Amino acid sequence: MRKWTIPSALLLLCLLSLLPDQGRKLHASAEGSPEEVVDPPKVEEKIGAVPTGLSTDSDVVNREAESISKRSVRSNAEKFEFQAEVSRLMDIIINSLYSNKDIFLRELISNASDALDKIRFLSLTDKEILGEGDNTKLDIEIKLDKEKKILSIRDRGIGMTKEDLIKNLGTIAKSGTSAFVEKMQTSGDLNLIGQFGVGFYSVYLVADYVEVISKSNDDKQYVWESKADGAFAISEDTWNEPLGRGTEIRLHLRDEAGEYLEESKLKDLVKKYSEFINFPIYLWASKEVDVEVPADEDDTSDEEESSESKSSEDEGEDAEKSEEEDAEGKPKTKKVKETTYEWELLNDVKAIWLRNPKEVTDEEYTKFYHSLAKDLSDEKPLAWSHFTAEGDVEFKAVLFVPPKAPQDLYESYYNANKSNLKLYVRRVFISDEFDELLPKYLNFLKGLVDSDTLPLNVSREMLQQHSSLRTIKKKLIRKALDMIRRIAEEDPDETNDKDKKDVEKSNDDDEKRGQYTKFWNEFGKSIKLGIIEDATNRNRLAKLLRFESTKSDGKLTSLDQYISRMRSGQKDIFYLTGTSKEQLEKSPFLERLKKKNYEVIFFTDPVDEYLMQYLMDYEDKKFQNVSKEGLRLGKDSKDKELKESFKELTKWWKGALASDNVDDVKLSNRLDDTPCVVVTSKYGWSANMEKIMQSQTLSDANKQAYMRGKRVLEINPRHPIIKELRERVVKNPEDESIKQTAQLMYQTALLESGFQLSDSKDFASRIYNTVKSGLNISPDAAVEEEDEAEEIEAESDTKEAAATPKAEDEADAVKDEL
């Protein structure tokens, strides 16, 4: 054995010395072959590649491989201690139990984008600062190595000097750092990671060893490395590929972070967080292609054997083809699947909000909306608003009105916190859960806000306290309401009759016709909720209200159009609430109003009852519910005389209804054909509101009693029934039949006015008594009783009927046995 030990060891050393050079040749030939990749980048462009001209001796290569495999800091590096606050921050991150580890890639791409922004800004005054060749390409490249579990992110930004590496990656250069760390430690919100020098440390959510290779125009190329053990090291980089300029970050991923070595995962993260970064983001992605290779002899023989099983005609054709190929001297080939790699652009959707709105086409807005809202339909958004806000707070925004409302838009209106508005800070996606940017009633809008004023480390709690929030929210609401108003202004169906002809002539296509009606049918309830919730913009929102009325001919109309049709001298806007338009059109409350040519608005949505409690007036016109007290239709000279002549009847009737809690009996100025109705007090619930409240799942009748309006019976002094009652009361106020009639008329008026009866049995008995009287049947006539003999016969018939099927079943059983 000893004889063979020394020669074997020498042979092994020779083989090892040959391996690095062979590996480099194979690597260069595999990645640089023009036949496999179309327009491949140069070797120098690829992260981690080692060009032949820059190769180092085998000792350096072995030492580097040993360092990477052990994930240990290089022995010749200069050691530094982290700032105390940084160590605390890293402890929080490393020991984090939170699931949102994805943000590390967002932060690294954001930092790379900042570095590219800085070098681009400097190049405006010094064009030579970008250098030449590949250094002029301002992009971000992501590459992964599954075998070594390394994820690399590279940019050609401004780069960092040795001092920059120490300053930016070893300390948190900001006042109040301790308070910042305390806030993060208590709140546990990983979105707090986001400030330059802080966002970088999110890498330790997924990695246990990190290398930062950086080259600035003002210094040599250096490597920063750390295992997050309270220290870091910096050394001059003499073994990696020269970057030219920029920074490359290599993450040696933990075992449990293997998902970030999947291309699909990285693509999803870039699309989610960094889709609109202002620089191209490339991923070194794999791709399978069909490649023709020379066929082996075994494959040729297999093909010949398989061809023998074919028909003779096919054999003849194959033979002719092979003779032709042999004649031409072409070798036989076969197609195989081969994996190639190339740079794939991930953020191909352009950030259109950074462009001038005049330069963006409708098709681009529509495409952007479908990408942003993940809307797979072909429908265009109803409207959009693209604007830039300047001043103390600068931001750009694009808002869209979707063509359809989500099915669950109002199901969890007050419980849902998610907003459809995405927040970006300098093109970096922060969150879509900031519902403070828009009020809840506008949460159907989709879009984004990109602010250069807000800090990257913005969280939900910090945003609520940020001084810029109120300004952004105020401007967004104003722009959103202007956008909705513009839908109505551009809709030919919404214009006044005077302007219709001009509009029809100026609009050749009917694309915008009926758009506001479509909007109202989808999102009208949100406008009503806005009037309830937003006192500041209540008048603006009221202009967007739409409804049907007694003069709208089945179409929607607005408050402005209603006011334009008001009669001279009319001071109030009349409306009526109920469950349906058909029911309201038959309401007795409209009789006199229709006769006098007054227009009445129909509110049929349950939320309208709440709406009118907040919308008290519009354009100095008060709202008047025609089913409540206070209706004024002008004074009649005979009112005083009528009131005096019916004084005895109203007083008697009020006494007769004392047990029904009727507050008063008055003469009515709203009835024409109906003898009487029941109205409520001005500030109490209407009949429709009572129904709504009673239908609530957790309603309490006892607690709701004080909110019910006082009921007033209004009688029509011109109706013959009322006149006859007055005469009979004058003759004999104690007549029991008159009291029964008065009670029945009140209960009938309750039903016709929309109320529910507390005692339906009593009402039915009074109706039956009235029918008896009409048929001249004595009130004492009793129901004829059933004879006992008939009951016995009925019982026997039942028994016989039950016995017959049993007998038939027994007979069938006997037949089966025979």
Phi-psi region of 564 (alpha: psi -120 to 50; beta: other; left: phi over 0): alpha
Of residues 201, 268, 194, the one with CA closest to residue 431: 194
State yes or no: 460 annotated in a binding site: yes
Residue written as token pair 């054709």 = 317
d(CA 602, CA 587): 11
State yes or no: 111 annotated in a binding site: yes
Dihedrals phi, psi of 634, to nearest 5 degrees: 95, 155
State yes or no: 155 annotated in a binding site: yes
Strand pairing partners for 384?
Answer: 400
Contact 183, 166 (CB under 8 A): no
State yes or no: 199 annotated in a binding site: yes
Strand pairing partners for 449?
Answer: 397, 423
d(CA 769, CA 779): 7
Return the SS3 of 774: helix
Return the SS3 of 199: helix
State yes or no: 250 annotated in a binding site: no
State yes or no: 707 annotated in a binding site: no
d(CA 445, CA 451): 18
Return the SS3 of 698: coil
- Other beta carbons within 10 angstroms of residue 322's beta carbon come to 14
Contact 257, 207 (CB under 8 A): yes
Contact 221, 240 (CB under 8 A): yes
d(CA 155, CA 47): 10
d(CA 451, CA 150): 33
Which DSSP letter does residue 630 get?
Answer: -
The residues, any chain, with a CB within 8 Å of residue 126's CB and separated by 6 or more, are none
Return the SS3 of 697: coil
Of residues 95, 104, 84, 81, the one with CA closest to residue 177: 84
Strand ranges of the sheet holding 548-549, from the earlier edge strand across to the other edge? 548-549, 600-603, 572-577, 621-625, 617-618
Contact 72, 228 (CB under 8 A): no
The residues, any chain, with a CB within 8 Å of residue 527's CB and separated by 6 or more, are 441, 484, 520, 541, 544, 545
State yes or no: 301 annotated in a binding site: no
Strand ranges of the sheet holding 221-226, from the earlier edge strand across to the other edge? 78-81, 231-236, 221-226, 207-215, 246-253, 150-155, 140-145, 281-294, 333-345
Where are the strands (E) in 134-173, listed by range?
A: 140-145, 150-155
Of residues 574, 689, 559, the one with CA closest to residue 630: 574
DSSP H or E segment with residue 302 = helix 297-308
State yes or no: 198 annotated in a binding site: yes
State yes or no: 197 annotated in a binding site: yes
State yes or no: 425 annotated in a binding site: no
Question: How far is CA 345 from its chain centroid?
Answer: 27
Residue type, 158: I
Ranges of H-type helices in 348-456: 362-373
d(CA 594, CA 596): 5
The token pair at 475 is 């401007």
Q: Which residues are annotated as a binding site?
A: 107, 111, 155, 160, 168, 174-176, 195-200, 247, 460
Q: Which residues are annotated as a binding site for ATP?
A: 107, 111, 155, 160, 168, 174-176, 195-200, 247, 460
